Amino acid sequence: MSPRALDELVVVDFSRVLAGPLATMTLADLGATVIKVERPGAGDDTRAWGPPLDARGVATYYLSVNRNKRSVVLDLATDEGRAAAHELVAAADVVVENFRPGVMDRLGLGYDALSAVRPGLVYCSVTGFGRDGGAAMPGYDLLVQALGGLMSVTGPAGGEPQKVGVALVDVLCGLHATAGILAALRHRDRTGEGQRVEVSLLQSLLSGLVNQASAWVAGGVVPRAMGNAHPSIAPYEPLPTGDGELVLAVGNDKQFRALCAVLDAPGLAADERFATNDARVAHRDALRVELVTRLATDGADAWAARLLPVGVPAGRVNDVAGAVALAERLGLDPVVSIPDEDGHEVRGIRSPIGLSATPPRYDHAPPALGATSFADALEEARRARAATVGG
């Protein structure tokens, strides 16, 4: 088998739901040995978050972020469970946890305690609102979308605030956690020094608001919801056609002129209301009327087929099934299928990370609760550690 970038890295994963498990699955896809520590009886909350379920009756939410891991059941409320956790950490490089701040410390599994057991440990804490003033606040994606401003810029202009259709804040936070862990490991490779990595849902969202956050902190402008319109670019939205919705993402004046040529409307490009992006933004409502009238003469797919070859970003609004089908047509091979312990094929979305020398692999389906015994998990961790230079 080809090597993977993180072969011989050992991660003990105390996290659950989405942000932490997404980070640890990313590490696992890249070769890390990830031991998922779960509570007795129930395990990760997302095991019960269904429907939808797959053909075996397993919650698809859980399946989305837990492949390539080993599941071990430990009761951290007991001395025996905590002692076992210490044994695992002693053989590990990375710990990931997303308990409320202070919980791991009370269990004797906080950064100070575990870094004493394992010098050089990289310890990643994922919180909702940080360890200080927001320590007692529950870190649920919907709550952070609300408090963090995302819902205020999502939805129709003048309408009620709306959440994004996926737990986007958790995803952003999980990706930031992955980056922080890899940066800390690079530092450890150079110095031998471990460190604590801290990411929060709120800070991840504020960072992810990019231009919308910058509008306020750098420009003093509080962004508002604009439906599918863009605050700084036009046309940059879905528009109705004779058959389906067509997204136009016209990012510059050259693209707008090409759009007008395809629509057989060169006069629009010459119109002073639309000739520049600034003017189009100022007259977006009038522009929309002109475009919708012309787009009604054909369907979304037909318009996209004419616009893309001349450099105008355009495409039909797909559902998820259509999006996966598009990726398949483009040769991206977006779906992976992994056999579970009973030989059933578990399907999931391929890692978006492409590496020419050390590509991700998909060796293990998301595990059943407690599928790996503590003894086997400990042995696997120690074996991976022994293969590392220096032990």
What are the catalytic residues?
Answer: 170
Secondary structure (3-state) at 33 = strand
| Alpha-carbon distance values, 241 to 292, 310, 313 (Å) | 7, 19, 16
At residue 322, φ and ψ (nearest 5 deg) are: -65, -35
Q: Are 20 and 126 spatial neighbours (Cβ–Cβ below 8 Å)? A: yes
Secondary structure percentages of the chain, helix, strand, coil, to 5 = 40, 15, 45
| Alpha-carbon distance values, 330 to 2, 267, 321, 337 (Å) | 25, 35, 14, 19
Q: How far apart are CA 130 and CA 205, in angstroms?
A: 13
User: Residue 12 forms beta bridges with which residues?
Assistant: 35, 95
Q: Are 81 and 109 spatial neighbours (Cβ–Cβ below 8 Å)? A: no
Tokens of 159: 């309408």
Q: Are 390 and 15 spatial neighbours (Cβ–Cβ below 8 Å)? A: no
- Residue 52: cis peptide before it, omega within 30 degrees of 0: yes
Q: Are 198 and 123 spatial neighbours (Cβ–Cβ below 8 Å)? A: no
Helix and strand element counts for the chain (H, E): 16, 11
Amino acid at 181: I
Nearest to 29 by CA among 368, 378, 387, 349: 349
User: Residue 238 forms beta bridges with which residues?
Assistant: 247
